[in-house]
Each structure stands twice: as C-alpha cells, then as structure tokens.
Structure 1
Amino acid sequence: MGELSNRIPLNSERRDYVKKCIENSEAPIMMEYLSPLISSKCQNETGIPEPKKLEEDQNKTNSSKKRSIRGSFKASERSQNLNYIAKIDGLDRLCSNIAIFGECRLDHNTCGKSHNIEEFLKIKHEEAESRIHDHEGSLLTQKSCPLFENYGICHLGLNCEFGLSHFDESIMANVNSKGEKVTPEHLEEFFNSFEKNTIDIQLRTGLRQKTIDFPKTKDFFDNYALSINKTLKDCEKKNQKPTCKKVQNFDNPLLVGLKNTENSVSLDEKGPNTIIEINNQPNTEIPQELKLSSEDMSIGISIHEEEKCKHKIFRNKLILAPLTTVGNLPFRRLCLKFGADITVSEMVLCNEILSGKASELALLKKSPEEKHFGIQLAGGNKSTIIKTGEFISEHCEFDFIDINAACPLKSLHDKGAGSILVDRVSELETMVKGLKKVMDGKLVTVKVRMSHGGSPINKNLFEKDYFENFENWPVIYNNMKTHKILNILCDSGIDALTIHGRTSFQRYTKEADWSYIKYCSALNSKLYSKKVANNIQSSNHFLICPSIIGCGDIINFKDYQQHIQNDLVDSVMIGRGALLKPWIFTEIKESRNWDISASERFDIIKQYVNLGLEHWGTDKRGIALTRRFLLEFLSFSHRYIPIGILEQPIHTQNFNWRTPKYFGRNDLETLLASSNSSDWIKISEMILGKVPSDFVFIPKHKANSSH
C-alpha cells in the first residue's frame, strides 16, 4: 500500500495557482501533470491555467450532447448496452443438463437445445486455441475457471468458457475438484453455500399468477381499518373532526405528479388511497419542539441510555449506500474486502417484485460475506410495500429493510415513491408500522433527504456567526421537511434514519449540508429524552431511539472523523466516495490517505471482474454482463484524482471540483483517468478479451461515450 509521495513544496507561483483553482472549484493538479493542450492554451500572464478558459476548451473538444436529465443518458440510448447481451442469448449453446450432468431427460426436439456434446467439445477446443491469439494477456487465456478454483465446482459445466478445465473427456462428464462426476446433490450443496436469497421458479410463477397469499398484510390492514373506524366514531360522539397530519406547502411545488384539489391530494393508485391535507397558510411561528437549547446540543443521550435504546448494528459502522446499477453484489463484496461493515441492496421496486420479475428478484441476492445486510424497497403504496416486506421476510435472509424516501427521480415521484414520501408522511408512517408488524422483529430504517421540494440553503446569505448558532437553525431550515416529521417517524417505530444532506431538487449538486443532519440528530435526542421524562413506554417496554446515519460527500478519513465527532451521527453512509475509491473504507479504518498506485488500482479492477464472473457466470452471457457492469463501475472510478499529483497542501479531492485534463504518473494511470468510454472498453479488453467491432457502451452518467 503506497503512502503519500514526496511532492514539490509550494512556491509563490504554485501557491497562487492553488488559491485560484480552489476559488474556481477547480482541482489543483500539479502543473507538470496538466495536459499540454491546457498548458499552452489556458494560461494567463503568470502562467497559471485559467479554469474558465479551461472549461470552455474542454467543452469544445468534448462531443457529448447535453442531456435533458442532468448528468444522465436516456433509457432509449442505454438500451444499446443490452443488444450485445441479447445477441449472445441468441447463440446456440449446449443443453444445460447435458453440459452439467451429461444427460437430459428430454429429447433434443422437446428440449430445444443442442445435445451434441462431441460437436460442442470440438468447438470448445477451437475457441481455446483462438483465445490464445485474440485475447492475449486477458483472463480468458487462463485455463482454470474462477468458480472451480474457489468453490471446487462450476455450475455451468461445459457452457463455461473455461469448461475444459473441469470436464473429464475420458468419462465425458463435468467433474468437481475431487474428480467426481457432478450430480444434482453436488450442485445443491454448492448453491447452499454460494449466494443466498435465490427465488425459485415456483415462487416466481406464484407471484406472476397472483396465487401467493399475504395473510400478515391482510391482518394488518384489517386492524388498520378497524382503528380508523373507531377513531371516526369516537370523533362523532365527541362532535369533533378527525385530525389530519399537516403537510406544509412552500413556494416550490412539493407534490410532483400528484393531483391537487382544493384541500387535499390523493394518490391515484391501486390499494388504499392516502389523503394529505395541505396547509396553504405560511408558517411563521417556529414550534417549541423544533427549537434547541445548549443542553440539547451538549448532553444528548447518555452512553448508558444509548446502550438500552439504540441498536448496536448501526453504531460507529461504515455503511455502503444502496447504489442503483453499480451497487451490485460483486461491488458490495469488493467494498467488504476493504472494510465496509454494512451493505445494502440496490433499490428494489416493490411492484416488480410482486409481479415476479426475475431481474428485480435477483437484486435480493446476498453473499454469505455480507454479515449485516439490508434490502432497500421503493414504492408509493403502503399495501405494496408491506406485501413485499412480508414476502422477503418469508423467503430471504437480511437484517433490515430500508424504505427509500430519498430518490430524486421524477419517474418514482409520479408513482408517489422516492423523496416525495416525506410529503406523504401518513403513508410513510403506515409503511413503517406495517413492515414492523409483518416482519417479526426485523429492523426497519428509512432513508430521506432534507426535503423533497424547497430550495437548498444558501449559507452565503447568512453571517457566519448567525449560521453557526444552532438557536437560529429552526429559522434557517424552516423550509426543509425532515426535521418536521422526525417525531412522527420516531413514533412509527423506525430503528434508524439515514439523512442525505441535500434536497431532492439538488440531486447531487453543491455540498451536502451536515449542519442540517446535526440539527436533526440533536432533535432526535431531544424527542427521546422528552419521552423518557414523560415515562412513555412502548409495547416492548422500552423506548427505541432511532440511530441517525449521515450521508453526503464523504471522500476521505478526515471527513468521516469530522462528522462522527462533531455532527452527532451514529454512523455514516458512503456512496459516491466508494465508487470513486472502494479503498476509502481502509483509509477510514487506518486513519490515513492512501496514495494508491495505478497497478494497485488495476488489481482492484481485476478483483471486481473475478467477483463478477462468480456472480454472473463464466459462460459467454456471464462474461458479457461482467463487462457491462465493469464499464458502469469505470464510468465512476475514472473520476478519482490520485493524491500524488495534487498540489500541496491538498491531500484529497472534492466532489464539487471540476477536473482538468491531466496525465498520470505512468501510462496506466493516464488510461484509468480517461473520461472517454472507448478507453473504459480498452481496460475491459485487457481483462476480459476483445469486444466485437460493433460493440457499443452508453454509460448511465454523462461522459464522452463515442466509440
């Protein structure tokens, strides 16, 4: 592991250069590593690159088009990524039963797949010979199968690209590491120790045909309806109107995609409708419960009390964020190797789960290495969420369910899901209570942003002393939402609340606001202490104080230490930081900056590929899928700036810096820094062999994608 390299000390010229770069949100890369194009065209009289001119020059040389959705490509464009895999699916392949066990109970015509093992063996030998020349230096030239090496068996048999390494031609059979012919019993033993949460075809069929019952969900809603009816009758007897949770309506539209009426908003969706009353009157008076005293900020919850009221699973842990597309099982395993403590699945759409969609059900899979594993659910209907929770609690291994109330995508908002749930607090509250009821003791967490709508806080509008005074935070953050629904979420029974310090409107722009996270954490402690003082008891005879998990812009160990020590959070969640540098977990645990070399980074990429081949398979389709997700990973990791080429005293990059074109310390480091997807494809070819001439990859996030 490399340490910080010896860098050139700052002279006045370099000091001015660093200052100018920081002022213009430009990465202060050492001038000797800047591209000659920049050095010659983008310098002022002092020889210092002008960031604005630099950006204009880059815009001229970058042929990528502007996208309608900030930072992303259209789904229709990205569908080209699947064309290559579809072509592979159409290729002739040996019947899986013949390939694995050497026999098939069906005849060739009924099976529909080739049973000619002799002809297939001939093709395998020809392919093995051609790979030596066509894919020199790649993993495809090795003779051993990664699955066979690590597990002593390959479940793909001869269809594996390395199938000859575990096929005994003397007995014409796929064998295990002991030389025994592979049997269904061997395969069952392998799958039991391989990956968990595989949903079999019978369950998938049951979901598709709507033949699976959800008795716990039905029982919950029966009691839920009785409770509402009882409340209405009690109100009638007392001649009162039923109370309704208020949702503050600010200047910015908060309820995207929902129908507005004069006094309410209803979600037009299958299942029970949710009525939300909108308070159109401006809220000028700050409620007392949202104010903080110095005692609230200094005392918090005692260590003894915290042992009793908070779950240890979320205390001082490094949590890998749920990352759509890129947060797949191989990437999670990679982060575990570098020190991540808790992993969470990619976002799982509840409607797709309940319709039995195989690709969505595959997102539930976990590795045995994932000791603390959560599944994140997204949905806008309480019935759908609770049914999904009941299903996976019956058929999956996991430690907690996380409700996604933070996703900024409008496609989810139109369905009442994602970050809009903080404006549908009654629905969110019922989701939590329902999940707690149907999952028999499993933990429930919620991930939110500061607010669904509302403009982010511009700290420059406030005097520094005014902003840093926590007594002013209720006024400063009055148009944010999470702190206003904190009490409702705590009462619903959540075990942890993850707060991303941005609004949905911001997506991932500007800096995350950790002062707001600190404000919410202090309020959380205040609410708990007040309940203890009032001797309020829960059904479990003790109160749960939700753990507060902070999220946003953690890129080095100092960020982590700052937030843990000063911002009152129990743990942190890391997303983009892990995509840029999966070794961030090692840096945090060892409290150091790691000036990682290009060869070490390339070894990490090869580790990811090996983990991908284990997960997606070592046949042609598995290799194609591994390549696809490797390219998605590289579309993020290329943004990492090596510490050793940053000017002193800068020891790490910033998410909000623009990065000028630069050379690495060697050719490999330069290649790994390329933002051109053709270079990412080249990196994949160094590991997985050549791609066809018509191969195309469109990254999920904006980059130069010509090839």
Structure 2
Amino acid sequence: MSESPRPDMDESVTVTKTVPGSEVSGEQQPSSNSNGLTQQTPEQLVARAIAPVKVEFLRPPPARTSSTTQAEDVSEDKDKASVQSGGLLKEKKSKRQLKRERRQEQKSAKNICPEVAKTGDISSCPYKDKCRFSHDFEAFKAQKPTDLEGECPVFKAEGSCPYGLACRFSSTHTEDMPSGNFNGRRKTSEINGLSKDVQKLLWKNKMRFPKADASLRALGLWESSKLKRNDLEDKEGGNIDSNNCHNADNNGCCEVSNDLGSNLESSAEDSKVDGIDGNLDSGSPCPQKRRKTEENSGLNVEENEGTCVTDQNIGKSCIQAELDVVSDVIPPETDQSMKLHPREKKLIDFRDKLYLAPLTTVGNLPFRRVCKVLGTDVTCGEMAMCTNLLQGQASEWALLRRHSSEDLFGVQICGAYPDTIARTVELIEQECAIDFIDINMGCPIDIVVNKGAGSALLTKPMRMKNIVGVASGTVEKPITVKVRTAYFEGKNRVDSIIADMGSWGANAVTIHGRSRQQRYSKLADWDYVYQCARKAPNTLQVVGNGDIFSFVDWNNHKAECSELATCMIARGALIKPWIFTEIKEQRHWDISSGERFNILKDFVHFGLEHWGSDTKGVETTRRFLLEWLSYTFRYIPVGLLDVISQRLNWRPPSYYGRDDLETLMASDSAADWIRIAEMLLGKVPDGFSFTPKHKSNAYDSAQNG
C-alpha cells in the first residue's frame, strides 16, 4: 500500500537533442552517442536522482498518445463509471444485477461442474439438475482454450490434479483421474486453512474467546471497552472517504491496492477496513450488525460489534460445538498468575536474518516462495484486517496461508482496539501454525486510519500499550509491532515510547523511517531509526526499514548502528528479489535477462500450484504476475550503469538492454508486461486489460498502449 513510490517517468528524460551552436556550461562537457543524443555526467544525474545509464544504451522515451492520457483520466473516476476494454463508459450496475450476471455466467458452458470435469461423467454430480454449474461436457470442450505448454504443476506436485479436464494442462496428465473421491481436499504443502466448523461459528457470531476475555479483564479493559469504543468511534471513526489501498505503505503494510476483487478469491481482495468489534459484559445483549457502503471504493464493509457470545445468545445446539472448539484453552476464570510472563515466552532472534516485508497483493505466497529460493530467512503474510478475520471471510484467511518452505513465518494483522486484536490473535494461534504475530501500527492509508487503526495508533500511545499488552497476554507466540516514525511530519514520537515497548510484551519492533504524512516524498530517516534502536531495551529487538536496495545499503546500516537487529526489505525485493542472494554473497549480481525470466517462470509455477491450473487459476496467476512486473521494470542491470549500485529513489531513463528480452523487461508499458505474461501463460482472453493497483503515470493506460 503505497502512495505511488515510483516517480513520473515523463519527467525523467535524461537525453536531449544536440543543437548546433549550443554551449554547455560547467567544467565537464556532456558526451554524445551515435544517435545524436547528449547526456549529462553521471554526477549530475545522481544529483538529480536520475539513474546514470551508460550513454551507449540510452534511447529517446516512447511517445505518449493523447488517447492514453484520456483513458488515464477516465480511469480515475471510479464513482461514476468504469472503463470497458474498448475505453467506453458504462453505468454502474446494482448488486442484484451483478449477482444475476454472475449466476448466468456460472451456468455458461465455460463453467463446467467441478465433479463432471474431474470424472468426465455427467452423472457424477450429486446435485444433478440443481447444480449451479454447467453439465454440458461437449460445449465446454468446444470452447475450452488450447492447453498451455509444459507439465501440469499441480499434477507434478501432488500426483493428481483435481481440475480434471478443466485443467489447462490436462493433455499432460499421465494417468486417468481418480473416480472422484477428493472430498474437497487436495494434497498440498500449504497450511493454515480455516476449518468449516470454526468459520460457521464466526459467521453466526457464536465463537467464544476465553483467553482474550481473560486478558482484557486482567488489564482492566473488559468493563470500559464498549464505552471507550463508542467515544472513539464518534471522534475518529467517521465515514470511510479514502482511496483504496493503492496509496499506502508497502514497507510492512501495503505496496499496492488489495482490490483484485472476486476474481482472485484465494488471495487479496479489495482494500478492507477494520470494523468495530467490542467486548461486552456477560449481561449485555450483543448489538446487531451494521452494514456501510463505501461509495468511493465500492466496498461493502460489515462491521460487527460484538463477536462475544452471551448466554442468552447461544443456542443449545451450538454449545457443544463451541466447547469442542475451545476445550483446550484457558477459561476466563483461570488465575492470571499461572500465565507466562512475556520474558518467559519462546522468543525469536531476528538478528542478522534477512526479513522480507509483508507486501499486500504482490507479497502473496508464490512471491514469498520465490524469495525463499533466493535467500530470505523471515517471511510474513500480507496484512489482514482483524474484523474480516473474525467474520470468517475466506479471502482474508487466505492471506494467512503458509508454505512448508517458509521455516520462519509470521502473520500481520491490523486493528484499532484491544478487544479486536485480542480475539484475533487467540483465533490465529488456535487455527494456524505460525512463529510470530506482527501488529501493524504504521499503515498510512485513510481507509484504515479513519477507523483508528494503522498509523492512527501512533497518536494514541496508551491504546498502543493496551493492544500490545492484551495480545501478548492472550497468546504464547511472540508479538512484534510495525510502526512509522510518527503520524505528522516533523513530530517523531517513537523514541519516546520505545523504551517501554519491551515491557508491554513486544518481542521486536520494526521502524519504517518515514512519517505517515510524509509517505514517499523523501528518503527514509535512518538517523532517527538508529536513535530509537539505541534507546530500546536489550529485550526489544529493533528492525530498520526503508530504501534498502543493495548489500551496500544493508552493510552500511548494520555498521552505523550495532544495536540494530536486522533490516526489513520491501520495495527492494519487489524490484529485484535476488537482493537476498546479493546480501548473502556480498556481491552485485549482474543478472542476465534469461536468469530473470527463469525467476518469473518459478513464480508462474508456484502461482498455478497455489491458485489452480484451471482457466480461473491461470488468469489469477496472470494478474498477480502483471502486478509484480509493474515493479520489476524499474531494475537497471548492473552492466548498464556508470555508477554502482542503483539507489531506490533513482528514476530510470528509457534505455536499450543488452538483448531484446532485457529491453522488453525495461519497458514501462503495460502492453509489454502483457507480452511477457503471454510468453509464460499464453494469450490473454478477449477484452483483457490491465492497470496496476497503485496509481502512477509511469505506465501506459488501461488501454495498454
């Protein structure tokens, strides 16, 4: 979630036409290349934060068409209209109309019944004529796109493919599919799924949280939580009048908008807000759910006040099920003196480990697997909103998925109130296999901040204390915190509370060296990060974050402040995930275009395993690949630079690569990103268009050139 960390490419022109008779001031004269172009000296370019590409590789920037500009302007107006593939406007449809169209599409021939696809037998579907999917086997085969090249990644990884004929690699299946007893399960190396029984309890608002309630009582937050929450809602809650997640912070929060919609069920959905989830006295009735509609973002946010369950609200038929779920947890009446002190917990040593930041949308499970292959030590899931987790939203729980290769893995949550956080961490510890839980207190986007979560907590240190304290008292897993330097620019405040954060119960704190108000207007303030690290107690590990783009940056930060445990890497990993290899091997890797393409191949392979090898899984993988390509083009090969190493704030000029593929990878046009995706996933569907979720004019329009 970032506010367009990339600069305006149209303003980054570093070459000019040679004009006869013109004079260049200064001692150093600019050199000229065979194309009749002149370039400033490397020192001059670096002073202007422009990448000093060798003059022989420079080329004039591509022309921008007026239709591109017009389409970009149209795409900004999300409230009134949406852009079709042809650039025309259409009226926004009602929810009922959209639901009707979805049902009609399900019945179309391209949506074959999964049971029929697996077995090839129409009679295998247990729902028969009542099935919501199509049973027209012949029509499905007639319209099915041509199979993709290569082996089925799901079949190769699991020994069988549950998609059957619907798989885009079905011709490579080496044996007949089983007669269909998958029971809805796949053999997979991924864990942390939400069980249906627990999900139903969450849906019905009948899940109990005894550990969380005990911690709230121990800290004196049980009785007053509802009053505090109502007062804060009046002051801070307000209406959600924000941009979607595309204006947020990627360094531990969100790099790009998390709104890929219902087409991406297994990963990040639209930007979400943390609702209000209260703790009530056992004699108070739970309030009713309230629904708010965010017009600007098109989000339907269900705010649930009261996931707690009172005796009068629990049906007798549900009591036993709840007891089965929580039979192994501590009852609220348990003596708090028996609980572990924070210092007695099993802690994690982050020192000198390579830490990949949680990156919304682009930091999905396949991307994390790529980074694991390239050397990262610590991974963390995408930021998940507490209220959505407590409501049992499958798309939000998908953000907590973990692959077996992630040997040191945490999840990041975001919430506004101690009771919401306490219940969420208890639920996560009960349902998931994790190593630590990170609480985001640095997310800068309005849609989160207006609800009192994210960086809004930096203005309320007592609530920060209560959140960390109740979370640490509820679970035995280590609790870490992610913050920015401050809410307002020039009013840093983390240094004033960092000495106490260890006593609150935090194992580590990650400090992003920017304020919420600053966003990406300046480089990260590492001097302030060092100051905070030196003030932190020995029991609290401090992780620095911001602008690390090479092993030189890493070494410098570690050398400047020995108290710094490690550094978190965010945008640097998005642009060049092999940064972890560079740090471990202490070298600048002049990676070739072929090696970079193989990394993209790995991502596609992992993506098809994760999202599926049917048409829907292929298109989901394509979307996330394109989101990632909207960052990787910013990498400038080491062999093309006059000054090494590349800085994260350098604006890359337009240049030729050393081969055609490297030139294609350097393009800032979405049309070229689609070409790369087609090399891996085949032709795009008719009417396909792509616009990155973060807003930036460093790419072509939704019309893709």
Normalization by structure 2: what TM-score?
A: 0.70
> What CA deviation, in whole Å up to 9, does each residue of 1:460-482 have, x standing for no partner?
xxxxxxxxxxxxxxxxxxx3111
Residue 198 (structure 2) pairs with residue 174 (structure 1): no
- 1:630 Cα offset (Å): 0.4
8 Å contact kept, 1:551–1:574: yes
Residue 489 (structure 2) pairs with residue 480 (structure 1): no
- 1:424 Cα offset (Å): 1.6
Write out aligned runs for 1:648-659 (5 A).
650-659=643-652
CA shift in 2, pair 1:604/1:226, >3 Å: closer
8 Å contact kept, 2:554–2:583: yes
Tell me the equivalent position of 1:667. Answer: 660
Match of 1:384 among 409, 415, 420: 420
Tell me the equivalent position of 2:126. Answer: 106
Whole-angstrom distance in 1 between the partners of 2:399 and 2:380: 10
8 Å contact kept, 1:89–1:621: no
- 1:268 Cα offset (Å): 11
Tell me the equivalent position of 1:443. Answer: 478
- 1:91 Cα offset (Å): 4.4
> What CA deviation, in whole Å up to 9, does each residue of 1:50-74 have, x standing for no partner?
xxxxxxx9899983888899xx996
- 1:704 Cα offset (Å): 2.1
8 Å contact kept, 1:330–1:611: yes
- 1:78 Cα offset (Å): 9.0
Whole-angstrom distance in 1 between the partners of 2:394 and 2:83: 18
Match of 1:358 among 382, 394, 398: 394
Match of 1:19 among 26, 32, 43: 43
CA shift in 2, pair 1:107/1:446, >3 Å: closer
CA shift in 2, pair 1:679/1:562, >3 Å: same
Tell me the equivalent position of 2:304. Answer: none
Match of 2:182 among 181, 184, 192: 184
8 Å contact kept, 2:590–2:638: yes
8 Å contact kept, 1:158–1:167: no
Partner of 1:594, secondary structure, is coil
- 1:208 Cα offset (Å): 1.7
Match of 1:569 among 564, 567, 572: 564
Tell me the equivalent position of 1:145. Answer: 152
Worse-superposed segment, 377-386 or 579-588: 377-386
- 1:257 Cα offset (Å): 6.2
Partner of 1:184, secondary structure, is coil
Listed as ranges, the gaps of 5+ residues in structure 1 are 1-10, 39-56, 132-139, 176-180, 230-254, 260-266, 274-306, 456-478, 529-544
CA shift in 2, pair 1:510/1:88, >3 Å: farther
- 1:508 Cα offset (Å): 2.4
- 1:258 Cα offset (Å): 7.5
- 1:523 Cα offset (Å): 0.4
Tell me the equivalent position of 1:412. Answer: 448
8 Å contact kept, 1:447–1:497: yes
8 Å contact kept, 2:61–2:653: no
Partner of 1:207, secondary structure, is helix
Partner of 1:63, secondary structure, is helix
Whole-angstrom distance in 1 between the partners of 2:499 and 2:45: 43
- 1:382 Cα offset (Å): 1.6
8 Å contact kept, 1:338–1:586: yes
Aligned length: 542
In angstroms, what is the RMSD of aligned CA positions?
3.5
Whole-angstrom distance in 1 between the partners of 2:520 and 2:40: 29
Whole-angstrom distance in 2 between the partners of 1:443 and 1:657: 37
8 Å contact kept, 1:256–1:420: no
Write out aligned runs for 1:605-624 (5 A).
605-624=600-619
8 Å contact kept, 1:344–1:376: yes
Whole-angstrom distance in 1 between the partners of 2:416 and 2:84: 30
* Equivalent residue letter for 2:628: F
Match of 2:203 among 199, 208, 213: 208
8 Å contact kept, 1:310–1:547: no
Partner of 1:141, secondary structure, is coil
- 1:203 Cα offset (Å): 2.6
Match of 2:621 among 611, 618, 626: 626
Whole-angstrom distance in 2 between the partners of 1:91 and 1:334: 36
8 Å contact kept, 1:158–1:174: no
Residue 162 (structure 2) pairs with residue 162 (structure 1): no
Tell me the equivalent position of 1:505. Answer: 517
8 Å contact kept, 2:275–2:387: no
Write out aligned runs for 1:1-40 (5 A).
13=30, 17-36=41-60
Tell me the equivalent position of 2:596. Answer: 601
CA shift in 2, pair 1:68/1:345, >3 Å: farther
Write out aligned runs for 1:218-257 (5 A).
218-225=213-220
> What CA deviation, in whole Å up to 9, does each residue of 1:17-76 have, x standing for no partner?
1111112111111111111469xxxxxxxxxxxxxxxxxx9899983888899xx99699
Whole-angstrom distance in 1 between the partners of 2:77 and 2:156: 39
Whole-angstrom distance in 2 between the partners of 1:214 and 1:269: 16
- 1:90 Cα offset (Å): 6.5
Tell me the equivalent position of 1:691. Answer: 684
Whole-angstrom distance in 2 between the partners of 1:350 and 1:325: 17
8 Å contact kept, 1:511–1:553: yes
Whole-angstrom distance in 2 between the partners of 1:152 and 1:581: 33
> What CA deviation, in whole Å up to 9, does each residue of 1:256-294 have, x standing for no partner?
7689xxxxxxx9955379xxxxxxxxxxxxxxxxxxxxx
Whole-angstrom distance in 2 between the partners of 1:659 and 1:493: 44
Tell me the equivalent position of 1:217. Answer: 212
Write out aligned runs for 1:393-432 (5 A).
393-432=429-468
Whole-angstrom distance in 1 between the partners of 2:501 and 2:169: 52
Write out aligned runs for 1:21-170 (5 A).
21-36=45-60, 63=69, 91-92=108-109, 93-100=111-118, 104=124, 106-115=126-135, 119=138, 122-123=141-142, 127=144, 130=146, 140-142=148-150, 144-166=151-173, 168=175
Tell me the equivalent position of 1:590. Answer: 585
* Equivalent residue letter for 1:518: Y
Partner of 1:626, secondary structure, is helix
Match of 1:341 among 377, 385, 389: 377
User: Which protein shows a greater Rg?
Assistant: 1
Tell me the equivalent position of 2:360. Answer: 324
8 Å contact kept, 2:114–2:163: yes
Tell me the equivalent position of 1:433. Answer: 469
8 Å contact kept, 2:469–2:504: yes
> What CA deviation, in whole Å up to 9, does each residue of 1:121-174 have, x standing for no partner?
854xx857x45xxxxxxxx133x2111112212232222112243375xxxx51
- 1:113 Cα offset (Å): 2.8
Residue 507 (structure 2) pairs with residue 495 (structure 1): yes
> What CA deviation, in whole Å up to 9, does each residue of 1:619-675 have, x standing for no partner?
01000100000010001111111111111xx12211212222111111111111111
> What CA deviation, in whole Å up to 9, does each residue of 1:539-562 have, x standing for no partner?
xxxxxx111111111100111111
Q: Answer 1 or 2: which has greater helix percent.
A: 1
Whole-angstrom distance in 2 between the partners of 1:506 and 1:602: 35
> What CA deviation, in whole Å up to 9, does each residue of 1:217-255 have, x standing for no partner?
1222233338999xxxxxxxxxxxxxxxxxxxxxxxxx9
Tell me the equivalent position of 2:700. Answer: 704
Partner of 2:69, secondary structure, is coil
CA shift in 2, pair 1:310/1:556, >3 Å: farther
Whole-angstrom distance in 1 between the partners of 2:497 and 2:65: 43
Partner of 1:665, secondary structure, is coil
CA shift in 2, pair 1:490/1:77, >3 Å: farther
CA shift in 2, pair 1:548/1:76, >3 Å: farther
Whole-angstrom distance in 1 between the partners of 2:383 and 2:83: 20
Partner of 1:499, secondary structure, is strand
Tell me the equivalent position of 1:280. Answer: none
- 1:511 Cα offset (Å): 1.1
CA shift in 2, pair 1:112/1:90, >3 Å: closer
- 1:598 Cα offset (Å): 1.0
Normalization by structure 1: what TM-score?
A: 0.70
- 1:418 Cα offset (Å): 0.8
> What CA deviation, in whole Å up to 9, does each residue of 1:357-376 have, x standing for no partner?
22111111110111111100
8 Å contact kept, 2:575–2:634: yes
8 Å contact kept, 2:483–2:509: yes
CA shift in 2, pair 1:194/1:452, >3 Å: same
**% identical equivalent positions:** 38
* Equivalent residue letter for 1:410: D
CA shift in 2, pair 1:226/1:582, >3 Å: closer
